[in-house]
A and B are shown apart, each in its own frame.
Chain A
């Protein structure tokens, strides 16, 4: 379903605002459970934004954990060596994978459709093995432990409350990047998603926007990786497994793959549900599976799509009267 540019922007800005609301949690409660839940949600949704940017180009990408690992490890290596400034760490975590993405994009963006899906899956597997094979740099299978917490203006942000705020800050930065990229290049991205050949014949430099999308997705994923490393104070290969990409894809898809808001709502929903499920211990995996199947079968356009279907919008009521009908 296509809906107006303005409404899309408003919805996405609401999505960013929703992330900001998480910053209130450390001020209203001291519950460690809620803190851990907030960290999990914000890190998950940041990673889901990495998936979302590529989905806007019509590409399903499994690279998110790989870029998360590059960003997370880069920040961890820097932090262990003594540089703990939050802004600097965030920039490194965002820029390192983004720079990696440029040559990588030249190689893999030629592949289309399912081949792209597969090659991004393989890239993850390669990165995992590289992490294991370079113990000098990355600590091998043990990873890098004892990563010091980030600091701001000389103050170490180590308390649980601070950690939540740092995570939310990183999530906000990622969301703003996502919002800027997807709306600044909305027309180009949509034309490539809808019909690549047509877009090309109309003069859209497809490769340029694809690379741009991959670079942005890499930067956003790198931020998610940094948030994860900072929260766990460890960078470990197991945090970035290839299969975890499926979680992030599920977040973006369950919420609704057509909007930034979808990634946010989807992550909140799935994290809440899986925390409820994990109380069921050994059934958790199966229940998560049922949830995936259920959402796809009941709400193929995601929760946002379902809401748009169920709640009749003001515009659709108005449009019963003859108006400027189907403008995009």
Chain B
């Protein structure tokens, strides 16, 4: 019984991480119509920024995490402005560009930090044990921070004028532009927020898991699954799907083994898509 509860808690903690990554991914798709293959690279970049700031510069870990998120977001802003902005209406072109960016970024990171995983550890160790339930403090902290940040993203999107404008762009770009919303101002900023979220997650999570230059591919695949399951472009859907995926993953890796667990997950997603071709909470489809 305790095993089941502990596994569930790990699943929830994974869910908050997945939610942050997938919200960013789905925001970029919803607003720009771009599948960001480089999303995993931004996650890794956030990890390395935090690593440098905390280990080489000597800043306190939490300050390093915040700065890493901001720095990753800034890189995202620049990348969108220079490489992606002109091609937003061409899905295949932006896919190839973000894929190219992924390769360039991981190569650059590998050159700077070396191909071996970096020795980046979470500053808080130990774990909470209560009545047979076991949960590392690090996971609890990540759970808390990701939960708060997710709430903040919701507030930004649903309660501020900026968020309303962003959602208007996602709903109907032509009408939003006719209302006087300027894409040139919205797109890079939306990309910056989304990549900043990926950077934040990377900075928080890589010290628990592993920080190596090629870790981004698995992250992108996970974000893919979550985002289609939830419905592309839907922030609510991505959040719900992140928890579904993480909990299935946590239980299946304990009770089925990781490879069968993944197979079960993929088949579940396939079945859901066949019944609901736009995902759990998706509405429109865009042309590829």
Chain A residues engaging chain B, CB cutoff 8 angstroms: 58-60, 107, 110-119, 121-123, 125-126, 129-130, 132-133, 242-243, 246, 249-250, 253, 257, 282-283, 285-293, 295-297, 300
Given the known inter-chain contacts A125-B266, A292-B96, please indicate yes or no for A110 contacting B277, CB distance below 8 A: yes
Using C-beta atoms within 8 Å of the partner chain, give the interface range for chain B. Answer: 35 or more
Contact of B96 among A112, A121, A242, A253 (CB under 8 A): A253
Q: Is the CB of B285 within 8 A of A289?
A: no
Does the CB pair B228–A112 fall under 8 Å?
no
Please report the C-alpha to C-alpha distance between residue A323 and residue B263 in the assembled complex, in whole angstroms.
Answer: 60
> Interface on B for A, CB 8 Å cutoff?
29, 35, 37, 83, 87, 90-93, 95-97, 99-104, 106-108, 110-111, 115, 217, 221, 224-225, 227-228, 232, 259-260, 262-263, 266-267, 269-270, 273-274, 277-279, 285-288
Of B107, B110, B273, which one neighbours A115 at CB under 8 angstroms? B273
Cα distance A115–B90 when bound, in Å? 16
Query: Among A122, A133, A285, which residue has its beta carbon within 8 angstroms of that of B269?
Result: A122
Given contacts A60-B92, A296-B97, contact A115 B104 (CB under 8 A): no
B residues less than 8 Å from A132 (CB atoms): 259
Please state if A290 and B228 are interface contacts (CB–CB under 8 Å): no
- Most chain A CB inside 10 Å of its own CB: which residue of B95, B110, B217, B259: B95
**Judging by beta carbons under 8 Å apart, are B221 and A125 in contact?**
yes
Contact among B103, B217, B269 for A289, CB-based, below 8 A: B103
Q: Are A293 and B97 in contact (CB under 8 A)?
A: yes
Let me know if A243 and B217 touch, CB within 8 A.
yes
Alpha-carbon gap, A89 to B115, bound state (A): 41
Asked if residues A114 and B286 are in contact (CB atoms below 8 Å), the reply is yes
Given A112-B277, A121-B224, 12 more A-B residue pairs with CB atoms under 8 Å apart are: A110-B274, A111-B277, A122-B228, A122-B269, A123-B270, A125-B266, A132-B259, A246-B37, A282-B111, A293-B83, A293-B96, A293-B100
A interface, over-half SS:
helix
A133 touches B107 (CB 8 A): no
8 Å CB contact of B100 from A123, A243, A292? A292
Pair A291/B100 contact, Cβ less than 8 Å: yes
